[in-house]
Amino acid sequence: MLTAKQHELLHFIQQRLDTSGISPSFEEMKEALGLKSKSGIHRLISALEERGFLRRLPNRARALEVLKVPEAAKTAPPRENVVPLRKPAPALRPIAANDIVEVPLHGKIAAGVPIEAFEDHNNLTVPAALLGSGEHYALEVSGDSMVEAGIFDGDYALIQKASTAREGDIVVALVDGQDATLKYFRREGPMIRLDPANAAYEPQRYPADRVIVQGRLSGLLRRYH
């Protein structure tokens, strides 16, 4: 049997995985559960791991996978800011492992401070299974501000073209029409807050009219040399 806090954390992690495909940072988990320190989150995650509800994914910073949901969680009332777990989506026809597509490679995107906006110059061959619906492009990640979301310098971010974003989405944001950056998208009154996933970096805040969403993170491609 899980405690109320363990239930809440499991709900929150699954909610974030459902909406963005990326597990939340420890700071986000701490805020969502109303805890005063990250040590409480570490204890909750360790307890959920020991009981077989969570698994830490190897070689990815703070990446988590929900393995199962307790029966009690289906009737337990969630906190106001936690969305109940969704039923698994119907199985789709699997994409053949050797199906590949080419997407435009638009240069580098900053995962740190904004850099110059990217330009078209090449294509990248990508397994079709990594892409969802819609039109996509790829960007090479430069910087380390998203490492706690499992996004590292040199990775290729696969981006679904979009002009809007939901709270907590990882987006490509164009600032002042010239600086592009990869960050979590948040609204803060009339401002847009672009949050890093690295405690060494501060959030970036801009008036909404200075920020244009150019896409949402769909997947990652990593090459090992």
Place of tokens 């990508």: 126
Tell me the two tokens of residue 133. 């619906």
For residues 193 and 128, give the distance between their C-alpha atoms in angstroms, rounded to a whole number.
Answer: 32
DSSP run (H or E) holding 28? helix 26-33
Collapsed DSSP state (helix, strand, coil) of residue 69: coil
The residues that bridge with 206 in the sheet, in sequence order, are: 192
- Select which of 145, 161, 163, 218 is catalytic: 145
The residues that bridge with 204 in the sheet, in sequence order, are: 194
Place of tokens 């969403």: 213
Annotation marks residue 30 as catalytic: no
Collapsed DSSP state (helix, strand, coil) of residue 56: strand
| DSSP per residue, 13-59 | HHHHHHHHSSPPPHHHHHHHHT-SSHHHHHHHHHHHHHTTSEEEPTT
- Select which of 23, 25, 183, 218 is catalytic: 183
Annotation marks residue 145 as catalytic: yes
* Pair 156, 204: CB distance under 8 Å: no
Beta-carbon contacts of 31 under 8 Å, excluding residues fewer than 6 positions away, are none
Place of tokens 């397994």: 127
For residues 25 and 149, give the distance between their C-alpha atoms in angstroms, rounded to a whole number.
Answer: 7
Q: Which residues are catalytic?
A: 145, 183
